Amino acid sequence: MTRFRLTVEYDGRPFMGWQRQAHGPSVQQAIEQAAHAVTGEPVTVHAAGRTDAGVHALAMAAHCDVERPIAPFRLMEALNARLRPQPVAILACAEAPPDWHARFSCLGRRYLYRIANRRAPLALETGRAWRIARPLDALGMHAAAQSLVGLHDFTTFRSARCQSESPVKTLDRLDVWREGDAVLIEAAARSFLHHQVRSMVGCLALVGQGQWSGDDLRSALAACDRAALGFNAPPDGLYFTGADYSSFEIDYQ
């Protein structure tokens, strides 16, 4: 039995999310079906995170165990061939230690949210960015975002369907900056609550449009009440960008 580490890129629009489910297609199901076709074995794929319907990934870390002897490059090529034409690609594949786990060995996760801050509709990025026509103050958004960094009770920014045992999380970084007509928001933490990033982005958008102040954002956090949430951003602009592991395990990226 060989454990393989996979780096996966996908467009989340056709899927109900990463996790296999009964009521629609998932990224996990697509890869598992491809792996079964390649190996002839029932294969379970585990990921560093569980993205929602419509959320994308630039570099999702995942792993699977395969009994059949196969080289990592051949497995990657075969999986990609079987995954076509679905918008899922295996970017890298390598052997991993048998005790390495994409989810439980993960020390940090990173997300990027893309806002297209322009009046014109999206011709090329529909479903891949959130368009906001009103001008956004990216510097003001970044300044306000720093009040969310650190150890907090993020109940306000937590989905009612969140299965995490505790709403208390440590947010390591929440940066906002502008590149042309794009406003980018990057979040990093060991783990996130369900909808936490989208909820934070929605509130920061209110700050950027002048509808909320930094004090309003701090009050929403302190309320520890989902009813205090200003807005939940759509999934369109959210990307899982990477998972962090120890210095030894980083060789498998």
- In angstroms, the CA 77 to CA 83 distance is 10
Catalytic choice (11, 52, 172, 244): 52
What backbone torsions phi and psi does residue 167 show, to the nearest 5 degrees?
-85, 0
Cα 231-118-9 angle, rounded to 5 deg? 70
What backbone torsions phi and psi does residue 54 show, to the nearest 5 degrees?
85, -5
70: burial class by Cβ within 10 Å (0-12, 13-18, 19+)? middle
Torsion over CA: 100, 102, 105, 109 (sign): positive
The CA distances from residue 212 to 53, 131, 137, 230, 231, in Å, are 28, 19, 12, 9, 11
Question: Which one-letter amino acid corresponds to residue 211?
Answer: Q
> CB-based contacts of 242: which residues, under 8 Å, 6+ apart?
58, 59, 61, 109, 110
Length in residues, the chain: 253
Is residue 137 annotated as a catalytic residue, yes or no? no
Residues classed as catalytic: 52
